[in-house]
Structure 1
Amino acid sequence: MNDIRLVDETLDINLTLTYNLSIQLMLDGFSFCIFDSVRDKFIALYHKQLNVNNMSIEDYCKELNSFIENEDVLFQRKYKKVKVLYYTEKFTFVPTPLFDKNNLNKYISLNFDTNNTERLMINELHNAEAVNIFSVSEKKIQLLEAYFANVKIYHQSLPVVETSLVTYKNKTKVFKVIVDVHDNSFDLLVIKGRKLILFNTFSYSTDDDFSYFILLVYEQLKLNPEETEIIFMGNIHKKDEKFIKIKKYIRHIKHEKLDEGFLYSYTFFDIPAYKFSNLLSLQKCE
């Protein structure tokens, strides 16, 4: 993915206290999105691609700090709300009725390791009736907190899970598979009506790996590839080899569309609607 800078000419730097700022932190880059809460309109989107494998936390923070300081004076302003969408494979879901905040270490010990450079966070997924416990880099979050007040942090699962369960709540007899694709990993969600069946993150290095993991989920959950639709978002397009390969095995494939409940600057139509679906969906989450 290339760097992106989309700004509507109606954006007013003096009105940022009426704007919501959403920030997406991924391993291979970061994005900033500005939403006008008065007009219910997305008015700016910035993306910085980091073409470095295994970048250290320190180098990542240097890039992020430089972007905030130098990309646009907008990012030194105060905002009505600031939300951070944090991508990490270190997470685990616990059913809400079984969740006990006093047992956090017990939950994570079964799923991932942490150290003193990380901070444990909790998101409640009300529609999924689950609590997500996840780990974030202390340095990355402290950097953002130094610039922005009242930062709220969300795991990447929250927007796609919560919005999908609402969107397809009446499809009680139909499975839906939603896949958010990144350069070297993807998040896969399976739902049936308002029921969460599966959410997991898969790492891949080849297009064959990508197809294998998706088809493995279909096989293990006994999903019919002739009937069960798969919906893609993120970094995948119709001419992508990954897309072409998976289309050989799954009949019904489509890309996510923009949420019709919001307005969008005309500049947003310069990129595919599905590219930043999860980040834009964060606007619906509290």
Structure 2
Amino acid sequence: METGQKTIQKKTRIEKTSNIKLSIHISLNGLSFCIIDLISNEIDFLRTYSLSKNTTPKELLKTLKKGFKENNELSNSFSSVKIIHYNNLSTVVPEPLFDKNNALSYLKFNSKILQNDYAAYDEIFNNECVNVYIPYVNINNYIFKMFDSFVYNHYSSIILEKVKLNEKNTTTPSLYLNINSNHMELIYFVKNKLTFYNRFDFSTKEDIIYYLLFTIDQLKLNPEEIPLVITGNISEDDDNYQIIYKYIRNVSIFNSEINQENKFYNSLKSDIILLNSF
């Protein structure tokens, strides 16, 4: 995944010889710090801060600063730092149609944006597409003050790249459903080409099944036959899985391939983003 001009360099705590990497996941509902040990290839540290749904970027920055103060692990030197921005201010554009000088204009059709918003973009699928989005600029500015360099991406770029990789050699395409605490993403590739991607906000399990069945209908798929792979915040015991399985028969839960002995196994065993965010 390319990140355009979004590798930002300064002068403090990046050491290429370090054996650990840091990724910070940022949304208005909260944030997470995650450290991976490059020698063991294991997640060594994970700390999450949950916030109210109506949190502002200003309050989010306060929580970010709090996290750095409270966790000694974050005072280490890292070989790299990556920020992952989570929001619904993004859209995928075919590369031949993309003009970086007018990046903001692609978002005005499906997002509420301001004239002075800054649009960033990730080049995905070997530059076949561009994912345009609005990052949290105040968060980037703060990280810029702390580290000599960092990279940032939109979370949907990571999902799309991973699903495309999973579907690369399949003969029967699967529909992917990624579930977070209050939003979900649906992704569908045919012959390794992105056919459908959308994000939906939800409040109840009924919202999830409504958007899922609506998408299946729009794609003219058969709910009795289409393989559905669920990633993210899901288990066979929860209500969301139960209502999905009531209507979709061919359901599986994504395996992140995290080591079962890892202390964060239960939190990350079906996660498609975090382990691919370094």
Q: Which residue of 2 aligns with 1:158?
A: 157
Offset, 1:57: 2.0
Change (3 A) 1:66 1:196: same
Offset, 1:27: 2.5
Q: Which residue of 1 aligns with 2:34?
A: 33
Q: Which residue of 1 aligns with 2:9?
A: none
Would you say 1:273 and 2:269 are equivalent positions?
yes
In 2, Cα distance between the equivalents of 1:234 and 1:103? 33
Change (3 A) 1:179 1:102: same
CA contact (8 A) 1:16 1:77 kept: no
Residues 1-286 of structure 1 aligned to structure 2 (within 5 Å) = 17-50=18-51, 52-70=52-70, 72-115=71-114, 118-127=117-126, 129-172=128-171, 174-259=172-257, 266-271=262-267, 273-274=269-270, 276-283=271-278
CA contact (8 A) 1:128 1:161 kept: no
Change (3 A) 1:162 1:267: same
CA contact (8 A) 2:162 2:272 kept: no
In 2, Cα distance between the equivalents of 1:159 and 1:180? 12
CA contact (8 A) 1:119 1:137 kept: no
Deviations 1:37-95 (CA, angstroms, capped at 9, x unpaired):
23433322222222x2311222221112101111x122123211111111110111110
Deviations 1:215-263 (CA, angstroms, capped at 9, x unpaired):
1000000111122111112222222222111111101112111237xx6
Change (3 A) 1:149 1:256: farther
Change (3 A) 1:86 1:219: same
Query: Which residue identity does 2:164 align to in structure 1?
Result: L
CA contact (8 A) 1:181 1:234 kept: yes
Deviations 1:117-169 (CA, angstroms, capped at 9, x unpaired):
74321100125721011002221222222223312111111122112212221
In 1, Cα distance between the equivalents of 2:55 and 2:104? 28
CA contact (8 A) 2:177 2:186 kept: yes
SS of the equivalent of 2:264 reads: helix
CA contact (8 A) 2:182 2:201 kept: yes
In 2, Cα distance between the equivalents of 1:60 and 1:187? 23
Paired residues, number: 264
Query: Which residue identity does 2:76 align to in structure 1?
Result: R
SS of the equivalent of 1:146 reads: helix
Moved more, 264-273 or 125-134: 264-273
In 2, Cα distance between the equivalents of 1:143 and 1:31? 16
SS of the equivalent of 2:134 reads: strand
In 2, Cα distance between the equivalents of 1:124 and 1:81? 20
Offset, 1:21: 0.8
Offset, 1:193: 3.6
Q: Which residue of 1 aligns with 2:5?
A: none
Moved more, 109-118 or 89-98: 109-118
Q: Which residue of 1 aligns with 2:10?
A: none
Query: Which residue identity does 1:208 align to in structure 2?
Result: E
Query: Which residue identity does 2:130 align to in structure 1?
Result: V
In 1, Cα distance between the equivalents of 2:125 and 2:33? 26
In 1, Cα distance between the equivalents of 2:58 and 2:126? 36
Offset, 1:15: 10
- Structure 1 runs (4+) deviating above 4 angstroms are none
Q: How big is the alpha-carbon RMSD for the aligned residues of Structure 1 and Structure 2?
A: 2.3
TM-score for the superposition, normalised by structure 2: 0.86
Fraction of identical pairs, as percent: 28
In 1, Cα distance between the equivalents of 2:120 and 2:180? 23
In 1, Cα distance between the equivalents of 2:31 and 2:261? 20
Moved more, 229-238 or 84-93: 229-238
Moved more, 236-245 or 196-205: 236-245
Change (3 A) 1:165 1:270: closer
